[in-house]
Chain A
Amino acid sequence: MAFEARRVRHWDNPDPMRFRDILDAIGDTPLVGLPHLSDGAGARLWAKLEGQNPTGSTKDRIAKRMIEAAEASGELTPDRIILEPTSGNTGISLGLVARRRGYRLTVVLPDNASEERIRLLELFGAEIVYSPGDKGTNGSIEIARRLAQDDRYFMPFQYGNPANPLAHEEGTGEEIVRDLPEVTHFVAGLGTGGTLTGVGRRLHRHDPEIKVIAAEPELGDLVYGLRSLDEGFIPPILDETQIDRKFLVSSSDSLRATRELTAREGIFAGISSGAVLHVAMRIAAESPGAEIVCLLADGGWKYLSMEAWAEEIERAEKRVSESLWW
């Protein structure tokens, strides 16, 4: 299957790549073809490499946008501490923005988050409050909401902040329309709903027929724990009218697709990217001629300690199923 380029990198590249500071280098990530995985699928698969952002995840986009919006509205002042519940990536991105702009940061993080996420948060100077791992990110949200009652804290709250979907509507979605105007499907993970809502709005304005598809993790029992069903959480910013279909993906299927992406395409991405790719392959099989964009939310670096690429897949599967990778 042919994949034509819209831009080829070479030494006399006419597009300037010089930025005022690191925050201006956020976004404008590459959209790359997946020729090997598309071969025989009857559709073309494309990957939006969000791991190319400065801290290695798509969350850089929303962290920058949420802080800029809070500064502009006057809610965030230099004396306040930024507080956020996160499974890791948003905290790390806020760490970068906080460092650059001179704020203190406290994150509430499930205690089963990967070692790399904890190290990166420490490296950016974040104070970490741990929440019980068996309650997942829902548990972090509960604790952060209690802490936020103290006025010293300013909580951007990615799950309820309109700057989150807006960063994707005006950034991620706009870039996809620019780079692949013929896009027919968009697949991304559902975490806060910001990516699906924001990109969905931009893509549906471009062509209402574009299908927006969500991938959701089937986390292990250790992560779901004994959570009661009425403790579920629906992020307020999630606009379900933008989503056409939603699929559940097991840790095992996510891991296998993540490894396949590395083995066949040379792309080193995080485990949630495997979940997205697994769904995209299912859509490709039933949609001949489709142009499917998969959003790969982060790079693989933060998952090395989970041994996700270990030679014995059984060991990798066990470690991933016991960890929080969403």
Chain B
Amino acid sequence: MSVRVKLPTILRKHAGGEPLVDAQGATLRELLSDLEQRFPGITKNVVTDDGALHRFVNVYVNDEDVRYLGSLETSVTEGDTVSILPAVAGG
């Protein structure tokens, strides 16, 4: 199952400068693990050492924040788009 992943500028260097990459998996965790295998180091600041989602990173499946869905166990299906972004403040 192929899902598109939109990379923030800072992670593109791991993927040869590409802003968009395809990844395989049925859950977000599987997807990120597939990316890590192909582009070592890419998920270092996304997933913590004990396997949780990093506090300062927001990950979205079809524009919805996974922290309020199933976190890293959120299911993904063919055609979904995943975005990874740093948490930003406003005001």
A residues bordering B, Cβ < 8 Å? 59, 86-87, 89-90, 136-138, 141, 158-159, 189-192, 194, 214, 216-219, 221, 223-235, 240, 243-249, 272, 326
Pick the most buried of B11, B54, B55, B85: most chain A CB atoms within 10 A of its CB: B85
Q: Tell which of B10, B57, B89 touches A138, judged by Cβ atoms closer than 8 Å.
A: B89
Q: How far is the CA of A180 from the CA of B45 in the complex (A)?
A: 43
Contact B91 A86 (CB under 8 A): yes
**Given A89-B91, A191-B91, A223-B88: 16 more A-B contacts, CB < 8 Å:** A86-B91, A189-B90, A216-B58, A221-B9, A224-B8, A225-B9, A226-B9, A226-B10, A229-B10, A229-B84, A232-B86, A234-B55, A246-B67, A247-B60, A248-B60, A248-B63
Q: Once bound together, how far apart are the Cα atoms of A190 and B67, in whole Å? A: 14
On whether the beta carbons of B54 and A243 are closer than 8 Å, the reply is no
* Residues of A contacting B63 in the complex (Cβ-Cβ under 8 angstroms): 247-249
12 residue pairs bridging A and B, Cβ less than 8 Å apart: A86-B91, A189-B90, A191-B90, A216-B65, A227-B10, A229-B46, A229-B54, A232-B56, A233-B56, A234-B87, A247-B60, A247-B63
Sorted from nearest, which 9 A-B pairs have the closest CB atoms? A232-B56, A191-B90, A232-B87, A326-B90, A246-B65, A229-B45, A232-B86, A191-B91, A192-B91
Q: Would you call B91 and A159 a contact (CB within 8 A)?
A: yes
Q: Which residues of B contact A189 (CB under 8 A)?
A: 90
Residues of B within 8 A of A225 (CB): 9
In the complex, what residues of B have CB within 8 A of residue A249's CB?
A: 63
| Contact flags B54-90 to A (C-beta < 8 A → 1, else 0) | 1111101001110110000000000000011111111
Q: Tally B residues with Cβ within 8 Å of A.
A: 26
With a cutoff of 8 Å between Cβ atoms, the chain B residues found around residue A190 in the complex are: 90
In the complex the two chains form, is A245's CB within 8 Å of B89's CB? Answer: no
User: Within 8 Å CB of A136, what residues of B?
Assistant: 88-89
Report the minimal beta-carbon distance from A97 to chain B, rounded to whole angstroms. 15
C-alpha gap A138/B91 in the complex (Å): 10
Whether the pair A243, B68 counts as a contact (CB closer than 8 A) is yes
- Interface secondary structure of A, over-half rule: mixed
* Cα distance A90–B90 in the bound complex, in angstroms: 10
List residues of chain A with CB within 8 A of the CB of B83.
218, 248
Contact B64 A247 (CB under 8 A): yes
In the assembled complex, the CB of A136 is this many whole angstroms from the nearest CB of chain B, namely: 5
**Would you call B65 and A247 a contact (CB within 8 A)?**
yes
| Interface hits, B5-58 → A, CB 8 Å | 8-11, 45-46, 54-58
Q: Is there an interface contact between A229 and B56, defined as CB atoms closer than 8 Å?
A: yes
Query: Which residues of B are found within 8 Å of A243, using beta-carbon distances?
Result: 68
Query: With a CB–CB cut-off of 8 A, which chain A residues contact B57?
Result: 229, 232
Known: A229-B54, A234-B55. A138 touches B88 (CB 8 A): yes
List residues of chain A with CB within 8 A of the CB of B89.
Answer: 136-138, 141, 159, 191-192, 233, 235
Q: Is the CB of B91 within 8 A of A231?
A: no
How many angstroms from the CA of A137 to the CA of B56 in the assembled complex?
A: 15
In the complex, A87 Cα to B90 Cα: how many Å?
6
Give the residue name and chain of the B residue nearest to A249 (CB). B63
Query: Which residues of chain B have C-beta atoms less than 8 A from A159's C-beta?
Result: 89, 91
